[in-house]
Chain A
Amino acid sequence: MNEQPRRRDTRLFPRPLDIANGRVDMTHGGGGRAMAQLVSEIFGQAFDNEFLSQGNDMAVMPPADGRLVMSTDGYVISPLFFPGGDIGSLAVHGTINDVAMSGATPLYLSASFIIEEGLPLADLRRIVLSMADASRAAGVPIVTGDTKVVERGKADGVFISTAGVGVLADGLEIGGDRIQEGDAILVSGSIGDHGIAILSKRENLDFETAIESDSAPLHRMIRAMVEAEPEIHCLRDPTRGGLAATLNELANQSGVGLVLEEEALPIKPAVRGACELLGIDPLGVANEGKLLAFCPKDKAEALLAVMQAAPFGSDAAIIGHVVADPLKLVRLETSFGSERVVEWLNGEQLPRIC
């Protein structure tokens, strides 16, 4: 990586960007000097690394030792800034997590920005710096990118699309179709934090809560998990639609039934209270820094200990088990003593959650 942060080229761009008062305008996407300056002074300086500074429309990376894993995701969250994060850090964490759920080590990210005319440059820089911080903290550099500007009203501030590439060690076979009867179901921490944090900041629903989004990169926890227990059958991050959607997806993919114990679900009291007030089910609320893990029952306690010792895993818990079920249902044993089916939710109550 370059040791020196890049300096502004005063010959090319005699005046610096007016970040305090300026806004993105159509010239910033026009392919001319203004765009070059925006890219250089906001993106280039923040993301600076040896691949990006190759200065080409693509990055050339060294060969990787293992199978390549790739994932891509778009981020359209509203509001752009929320308790516990922003669209930038979310776009880094989300894609790192998607790559890592295969058991792979994420290596590189790309980032593409669709910016609405009028976005304050200060907001853009804050988002980009947050992405740069998240990417550095995770040790996964942003190696290539793109910027487009669309007319006011054609986007909402900024949309970000990131892609991630990782490398997967031989011997690891982790996937949504590999869950088996008798597996234990683990979750890496409290559920529903992200969705409730976002909801609390929606303009038509401002309520006071100390809840922050759980947006976090989980690849280090996953590395520790696969090293300790290579027999993990499946890892999945329960994002949009929460546990309810993810578990139904997995039950169908693996052709099994899943049984959860309500008492075992880690839910923060403030999240529980907010859900109660709004009449929503915490099982259907989005997470951005949690994973679900499936492993043979006799390995569950050991895996739990590894998760609890890893970053972002201190509240991990065993929450259920896998059964044979031709109906492929997700069922919840309630603390009330009854049982109910956990269905996919319709979800339109919370558009643009990530």
Chain B
Amino acid sequence: MKYATEFRDGKLARKIAAAIDAECTPDRSYTFMEFCGGHTHTIARYGLEEMLPKSIRLVHGPGCPVCVLPVGRVDSAIELARDHGVILCSYGDMMRVPGSHRMSLLRAKAAGADIRMVWSTLDALKIARENPDREVAFLAIGFETTTPPTAMALKIAKAERLTNFSIFCNHVLTPAAMRAILDGESLPLQGIIGPGHVSAVIGIEPYQEFADRGQAIVVAGFEPLDLLQAILMLTRQVNEGRPRVENAYVRALPAVGNPKAREVIAETLQLRGAFEWRGLGRLPDSALRVADDYADFDAELKFQLPYRAVPDPKSCACADVVRGLKRPEQCPLFGRTCTPDEPIGSCMVSSEGGCAAHWLYGRHRNKAAA
């Protein structure tokens, strides 16, 4: 627990908050995006926004893997399990994500589909070995952080000639999403907090292009002190007028990331021409698919899953929430028809989603304090 609790020290946190306050120039406003859902969760859980001066505004970004997965992809996963007789292995986060007609993996499972919740790709491989007569597919989602285990599973499956195993690959790329946010309609940002675990794979260099576009970038860990420290560093960069990429997560993160993991990814996965993101639309070179050399393990080819774009549920504001254009409570569905128990939009499903985080920790804050 050391290395975790010491980064949750409330007294130190107030000191950093005071330093941020002192750093803020009067009459100037600072808008920063925390890209990652893990950061959103920490900010909401520890009530960090309340510790910050009014001139700092934090915007929740799209870095929650289940939140950016479009309905069409959820439908394909359900189809895979329900219509192809496949044992579909999925991380727990995906189970309640609503697809079309309020169907989800959890509901498809209740209706008879063989869907297994796993904690790692190794579990999926084990299930494939134990069920040689069945097809086993792993529903791969996530940013660069969760990509290496998928890549390793492909290598292992090929080495073991596991002919009944495949991957339904939905891995997406952080820099592509950042580019889309800066290119598209969004709030004017001055800085971005980068996810530490993504950089643990890709390093910090890929963010240089955003610094070149005038964004202050600080890559941070996931404890409250990590985030406050990152906000302090961003504020200083803005005040100095010298945007650059900084690493605030030196205790865990070498600036080069993990070249070995990148090697395995490069061998087993390759860029897709375009991929649809919920909220951000179709983005070029923004996601990975199974590489041609591993095509036998590509569930999309093996089961001929066509991608069908499906519009988001009516009045659901997830698309605006993941771009920081709306706060969760500004969605007409928030807390009314859309709750973590009965999510309509994907941001309400994972605790990393902006809506779920706000529902869990934030929604009563003002009322309770009154």
Binding site for B on A (CB under 8 A): 204-205, 269, 272-273, 276, 325, 327, 329, 331, 334-341, 343, 346, 348-349
Contact = CB atoms under 8 A, between A and B. Distances in A.
B359 A343 contact: yes
Contacts of A276: 1, 4
Interface of B: 1, 4, 8-11, 13-14, 44-48, 50-51, 92, 95-96, 106, 117-119, 123, 126, 224, 340-341, 359-361, 363-365, 367-369
Residue among A335, A338, A339 with the highest chain B CB neighbour number at 10 A: A338
Contacts of B51: 338
Contacts of A337: 10-11, 13-14
B8 A335 contact: yes
Given A336-B13, A338-B50, A349 B123 contact: no
Nearest to A331: B368
B95 A348 contact: yes
Given A336-B46, A338-B47, A339-B47, A329 B1 contact: no
A338 B10 contact: yes
Contacts of B126: 204
Instruction: Give the interface SS of chain A, mostly helix, strand, loop or mixed.
Output: loop
B8 A336 contact: yes
B164 to A, nearest CB: 18
A273 B3 CA distance: 12
Contacts of B47: 338-340
The 7 closest A-B pairs by CB, nearest first: A337-B10, A338-B47, A336-B10, A204-B123, A340-B361, A341-B364, A343-B360
11 contacts: A205-B119, A276-B1, A329-B364, A336-B13, A336-B224, A338-B10, A338-B47, A340-B46, A343-B360, A348-B106, A349-B92
B8 A327 contact: no
Contacts of A349: 92, 117
A338 B129 CA distance: 48
A348 B96 contact: yes
A351 B359 CA distance: 23
B368 A346 contact: no
B65 to A, nearest CB: 14
Nearest to A273: B1
B361 to A, nearest CB: 5
A349 B117 CA distance: 9
Given A273-B1, A343-B360, A346-B340, A334 B367 contact: no
B361 A341 contact: yes
Most chain B beta carbons < 10 A, residue from A331, A336, A349: A336
A32 B340 CA distance: 50
Contacts of A272: 1
Nearest to A278: B119
Contacts of B45: 340
B120 to A, nearest CB: 8
A348 B94 CA distance: 12
A346 B351 CA distance: 10
A115 B127 CA distance: 26
A346 B46 contact: no
Given A341-B360, A346-B96, A348-B106, A335 B10 contact: yes
A89 B224 CA distance: 42
Given A269-B1, A272-B1, A339 B368 contact: yes
A204 B369 CA distance: 43
A342 to B, nearest CB: 9
Contacts of B224: 336
A327 B367 contact: yes
Given A204-B119, A273-B1, A341 B92 contact: no
